[in-house]
Chain A
Amino acid sequence: DAGVTQSPTHLIKTRGQQVTLRCSPKSGHDTVSWYQQALGQGPQFIFQYYEEEERQRGNFPDRFSGHQFPNYSSELNVNALWLGDSALYLCASSLMGFADTQYFGPGTRLTVL
């Protein structure tokens, strides 16, 4: 049973660039949530996708956008990167209306120089 997968593992970008992170949910899951984890902090909720729509959004600017595909996989896009976007980006999947437990992927470490 494949767990949540994320790509790439690491990414280095410069200020002003754009980045796309990818996530494949655990088999059988239909909901994907994205979190940003700064060094030494707990994860912060960015947004969540279900049925290819953004259902909830945390306190993040419009530079952060996403997409969910028919196969339930998801992308996180960040435009106009700045130094403060350097963080571990975590993807979590769950099954809507069942158990409400989110399972996490290994994360993508983004460094903005």
Chain B
Amino acid sequence: GAVVSQHPSWVICKSGTSVKIECRSLDFQATTMFWYRQFPKQSLMLMATSNEGSKATYEQGVEKDKFLINHASLTLSTLTVTSAHPEDSSFYICSARTDTNYGYTFGSGTRLTVV
């Protein structure tokens, strides 16, 4: 079946540094990738939608200059958390549409801890 590989699975970084998270679709072309953030014991909140070759669309309240999204190819989308702060510590997860029947495949998630 459709697989989205997400790396790293966890990362610890210092305040002020940047972290890049990658999502790759392994056996299909992901025209659209969705990026979610999930705080402990909360739901998945959509941060942005990225389309291959175009600028990402950010949800209200999400800083586009802080969360840089690049979708340069049909199989790779990246999220870079710039100048990370402890409040950015969260579970970040990507998701891609797999077919026209509304199938969605999720990456395995990245646990980001900013110290």
Q: Is the A/B pair a real complex?
A: no
